[in-house]
Amino acid sequence: MNNSDASPKMRGLVVGGSGLIGGYLLHYFKTKTPEIDVRAPNSKKLSLRELDDIIDYFKRQKPDFVVNCAITAIRSDALLSYEVNYQGSINLARAALALNIPYIHISSAATLPPGENLSEDDHLPLEASLSNYAKSKLMTEMTLKHMHEKYGLKYTLIRMAIVYGAHDHKIQGINRLMFNIVDRAMPFMLTKKKGVLHSYSNASKVPYFIHHILKNREEFLGQHYHFVDPEPVELAKVILTIKSYMNLKTPREIYIPYQVAKTGNEFMNWVIKLFNRIGYKAHVPAEMIFLENFYKTQTLSCEKLKNSSFIDPNPQATIFTELPSLIKYYLARWEHLNLFSSFSSKNFSITHPELKKVDPAKELAEVFMHSPRKLLDSIHKDGIAPLDEIL
């Protein structure tokens, strides 16, 4: 077959490609979809804060679809949250509207109230008291729906809950919880003993859903979907499972009441402000703005997704089946970066068999630390010849 007769590749734009969801998307489209060519320009080439950047990029590249999974840090100020999370997202949608192409937007359960079995139609009231993050995400949801109704924007919105997955370079969400437990920064349980349930979202499955949306556009046009595991999970159970796998003594099963935790959080904020004034830079983890969520149930219904044509590529996967590999991945990463204040893998008798497996890279690191001459001689002997494979 002549190349000139081949169908041209579909060109996609992923905004936020350096994040957890974006990283999975880029890997998926690179390895599993030869018919789709996806670009993920960094913020220097395409800044959501600059309308001219968006206009110039779309004029030059003319993508066939857009996926927006970009967000600012949760603790960002009002202006940055507005410009990136809201205005930038809407300007991307306006560009997609001009080209009449699909726009897929990743949103958050931060737009939802506490409660059980929340549907896609549920959302918080838009009030000034909302956090900058929640406010900007909620405003985006409302404006995208309005653009669909008024101009026919071809969009699909995907709400995520507590997202889990490997290769996230930020310590946030479930990673923050894991980090604090392993680093012994959580001496007690910041939740209720029983009954506080949350929904979890598997980042590795999102690309399959987005690819399915692109192949079945009419079905998903103008729709919102909750992309979460079918069964919600007790927060206390997640904490105790991580603790058990690592054979840790903390956090102890002493459950701190919400008012006590809230007062403690306010006191720490006050202390940190005091230290910041005298030149010490510190801050309370951004997730603490959602402290109330640690004590209140929020579960998202996934019935709409179940009733769609999408088929879960790995229905057995849950936060508990993935925890061993996540702990192993992040422990290695955080140790490499010397982020722990108290943790050393030598001080623990790790219990889970997956975590006990010998890591060849770790053995190499040990040789590098303790026998550099041996390693140097080995490399000089076997590892400095020209790379003939290049030729």
The C-alpha atoms of residue 248 and residue 225 are separated, in whole angstroms, by 38
Give the model confidence (pLDDT) of 205-256 as tens digits: 999 999 999 999 999 999 999 999 999 999 888 888 888 888 888 887 777 7
Instruction: Give domain 7-161+199-229's CATH number out of 3.40.190.10, 3.40.50.300, 3.40.50.720, 3.40.640.10.
Output: 3.40.50.720
Q: In this predicted model, which residue has the larger pLDDT, 265 or 380?
A: 380
Q: Check whether 172 has a pLDDT greater than 90.
A: no
CA dihedral sign, ordered 57, 58, 63, 66: positive
Give which of 29, 21, 18 is closest to 214, Cα–Cα.
29
Average pLDDT of the residues in 44-53: 91
Which of 25-39, 93-107, 250-264 is the least confident region?
250-264
- Examine the pLDDT at 313 and tell me if it is beyond 90: yes
Give dist(CA 294, CA 278) in Å, integer. Answer: 32
Worst-scoring range by mean pLDDT, 24-28, 154-158, 246-250, 353-357?
A: 353-357
Give pLDDT, residue 1: 39
pLDDT band at 341 (very low <50, low <70, confident <90, very high): low
291: confidence class by pLDDT, cuts 50, 70, 90 = low
Cβ neighbours, 10 Å, residue 154: 21
Give the best-scoring range by mean pLDDT among 161-165, 180-184, 332-336, 378-382: 161-165
- Give residue 371's pLDDT: 76
Q: Which two tokens stand for residue 365?
A: 């690191």
Query: At a CB cut-off of 8 Å and minimum separation 6, what does 56 contact?
Result: none
**pLDDT score of 355:** 57
**pLDDT tens-digit map of 252-286:** 777 777 677 667 666 666 666 665 666 665 555 55
Please report which confidence band the pLDDT of residue 14 belongs to, taking 50, 70 and 90 as the band edges. very high
The domain locations on the chain are: 7-161+199-229, 166-198+233-296+313-375
267, two tokens:
């006191």
Whole-model pTM: value is 0.81
What are the tens digits of pLDDT across the range 61-70? 999 999 999 9
What pLDDT shows up at residue 183? Answer: 74
Q: How many Å apart are CA 189 and CA 235, to the nearest integer?
A: 10
The region of weakest confidence among 100-114, 116-130, 163-177 is 163-177
Cα–Cα distance, 318 to 322 (Å, whole number): 6
What mean pLDDT value characterizes the chain?
Answer: 83
